[in-house]
Amino acid sequence: MNSIAINAKELTKNFNDVIALDNLTLKVNQGEIFSIVGPDGAGKSTFIRICCGILTQTSGELKIFELNWNLHRKEIKSKIGYLSQRFSLYGDLTVDENINFFAEIHNQKNYQNRKEELLEFTRLKKFRNTFAEYLSGGMKQKLALACCLIHNPKLLLLDEPTVGVDPVSRREFWKILSELLKTGMTILMATPYLDEAERCNRIALINRGKILACDVPQKIKQFIKDKIFEVICPDTRTVYHTLLKEDNFLNVQMFGDRLHITTAKDINSQALLNILNKYQVKALSIREIIPSMEDVFIAMTKNQ
């Protein structure tokens, strides 16, 4: 049986009349990378901030490595590394100076070897004398990560770390996370990107402060029992609004230049083509597809 890194029971957080977390219960195993996925305002950042001690829950219980937050705050903080949504380092300090500063905050004494490891690990060694404000977005996030890791935390909390980061830097960031997992570190990550979530061991889909589903990505995709067809056609937007009134379609969603149409099991490609012809829709391509994480999340939020 896996040891538990994070154990949240009936966690609720209210901001005046707004319920950010609504009796949320969730477990994160030690040594896994776990992703909380949801839209803006779903409660992702609130949960991360409660886990790192920035916020306090209104009710419910939270344990980190079996330690209760309310009773063992100092001990728990020494085990946590936290990377916030916004770049929170000092632009007028160099890469080296930022890492030194965070090492001293965490009361690290002989950290020079650790710093050299992290600079090599994050590929920032040749930028060590560069002021942080002059780094690119991706490099700033890697520097922030190095600062989070200087005290060798057991749990890394990442709050949307790749938002606003270019695709190449995102890929490099994920390579770094993969290497961290090999050391036995536990990683909890909040992200709005469903493609990123699929790289994780397990996923929790969250909306309006509630967990909609929590499992490995493959099993979450099995939530949809109906058929989904991908349809490519001219003037996708007009066709989308036209097909919304079709009773045989359980759901119609637009993904760029194509539509995802959810139908009952008894509808095949030819039956779908006949329905499209009824609306004088000229389909360039029709194919049945495996549900994507986006399809699952849209279906779940619609049911909610």
Beta bridge partners of 24: 11
Report the half-sphere exposure of 214 (CA within 13 A, side-chain side). 14
Using one digit for the tens of pLDDT, what is the confidence trace for 189-245?
Answer: 998 888 888 899 999 999 999 999 999 998 998 888 888 999 999 889 999 999 998
Give CA–CA dist 227/290, Å, rounded: 8
Which domain-ending residue is among 206, 221, 236?
Answer: 221
Does the pLDDT at position 303 exceed 80? no
* Coil/strand/helix, residue 122: coil
| Mean pLDDT of the 60-64 span | 96
Does the pLDDT at position 271 exceed 80? yes
Same domain, 13 and 135: yes
Same domain, 262 and 213: no
Instruction: Please tell me the predicted confidence (pLDDT) of residue 114.
Output: 93
Instruction: Please tell me the predicted confidence (pLDDT) of residue 241.
Output: 92
When divided into structural domains, the chain yields a total of 2
Give CA–CA dist 271/282, Å, rounded: 14
Does the pLDDT at position 14 exceed 90? yes
Q: What's the chain's length in residues?
A: 304
Give CA–CA dist 86/89, Å, rounded: 9
Burial of 34 (0-12, 13-18, 19+ CB in 10 A): buried
Q: How confident is the model at residue 304 (pLDDT cuts 50, 70, 90)?
A: low
- C-beta of residue 175 within 8 angstroms of C-beta of residue 147: no
- CB-based burial, 110-143: b 16+ in 10 Å, e otherwise: ebeebbeebbebbebeebbeeebeebeebbbbbb
The secondary structure of residue 292, as a DSSP letter, is: P
Give CA–CA dist 304/63, Å, rounded: 28
Beta bridge partners of 231: 259, 286
Instruction: Please tell me the predicted confidence (pLDDT) of residue 35.
Output: 95
Using one digit for the tens of pLDDT, what is the confidence trace for 70-85?
Answer: 899 999 999 999 998 7
Give residue 61's domain range: 4-221
Same domain, 167 and 84: yes
Average pLDDT, the chain: 91
Same domain, 207 and 143: yes
| Mean pLDDT of the 261-282 span | 89
Q: How many helices (H) and strands (E) does the chain have?
A: 11, 14
Q: How confident is the model at residue 290 (pLDDT cuts 50, 70, 90)?
A: confident
Tokens of 220: 């979450």
Instruction: Please tell me the predicted confidence (pLDDT) of residue 62.
Output: 96
Which domain-ending residue is among 221, 238, 269?
Answer: 221
Using one digit for the tens of pLDDT, what is the confidence trace for 99-127?
Answer: 999 999 899 999 999 999 999 999 999 99
Query: How would you classify residue 31: left for phi > 0, otherwise alpha for psi between -120 and 50, otherwise beta?
Result: left
Better-predicted residue by pLDDT, 295 or 79: 79
Which domain-ending residue is among 221, 254, 273?
Answer: 221
Instruction: Please tell me the predicted confidence (pLDDT) of residue 172.
Output: 87
CATH number, position 89: 3.40.50.300
Same domain, 281 and 163: no
Contacts of 281 (CB under 8 A, 6+ apart): 233, 239, 242, 243
